[in-house]
Amino acid sequence: MWRAMVSVVKRDLLLAVRHRSELVNPLLFFLIVVSLFPLSLEPDPRMLATIGGGVIWVAALLAGMLALDAMFRPDFEDGTLEQLVLSPQPVAALALAKVFAHWLVSGLPLMLMAPLLGVLMNLPGEAMLALLATLAVGTPVISLVGAIGVALTVGLRRSGVLLSLLVLPLYIPVLIFGAAAAGDAAAGQSIAGPVLFIGAMLVLALTLAPLAIGAALRISLE
């Protein structure tokens, strides 16, 4: 099973490297959305610092959603998804491998880019650390929960709006705690609460989402 999972991760990373341009799109979107805020609002450093954490989290969420569709659609179209489902390995394990590979090329870069945008939003140092910590535990939740939505809608021809409707409400708790942590840190409070809460969501998603993704993929392939 490990060999199969490693091989799926390796394959998806190799494919990602060969489609570099597609990887950059969500990142550019992230950058553009965040950089529009100082332009459209009053460029008051204090106000930017107050809203910065929330803005970056919202932008990261939307950029993450933008990248979701690429998780299973190409596999669905070229038939490799059928081969995954028909392999003797548990579908949930292979789905987890795919989500992990997807997070490595979408969630992780978003997270690494966030401090840069934090500077843009004049975030204080503590808030920046809080942002990094919440994104580190929050972006895998986004990938895992989003994958359920993608797996359910991959068989539909136009799934964009439906996917957002399915998945965005589930993201809201992550968003609330993520954005709150940056504010808490700036106010000098401990961020352990929000981070642990998102961490709990991550544990829940890690254990249950692969099963849901596997079942959803089977339904989509029927």
Q: Provide the binding-site residues for another protein, judged by CB under 8 A.
A: 1, 3-4, 6-8, 11, 14-15, 18-19, 77-80, 82-90, 94, 221-222
**Nearer CB in complex with another protein: 90/173:** 90
Q: Which spans in 79-191 are helix H? A: 80-85, 91-105, 107-120, 125-153, 160-186
Q: Based on C-alpha coordinates, what's the Rg of the chain?
A: 18
> Min. distance of Cβ 76 from another protein in angstroms?
9
* CB-nearer residue toward another protein: 106 or 220: 220
Residue 81 or 209: the one with the smaller Cβ distance to another protein is 81
> Cβ of residue 165: shortest distance to another protein, in angstroms?
25
Task: Answer yes or no: are the C-beta atoms of 69 and 146 closer than 8 Å.
Answer: no
CB-based contacts of 180: which residues, under 8 Å, 6+ apart? 194
Q: What are phi and psi of 136, to 5 degrees?
A: -60, -40
Least distance CB 94 / another protein (angstroms):
8
Q: Work out how close the CB of 78 gets to another protein at its nearest, in angstroms, rounded to a whole number.
A: 6
Check: CB of residue 62 under 8 Å from CB of residue 110. no
Which one, 38 or 214, has the nearer CB to another protein? 214
Q: How far is the CB of 15 from another protein (least distance, A)?
A: 6
Q: Identify the DSSP state of 89.
A: S
* Shorter beta-carbon distance to another protein: residue 19 or 190: 19
The SS3 of residue 69 is helix
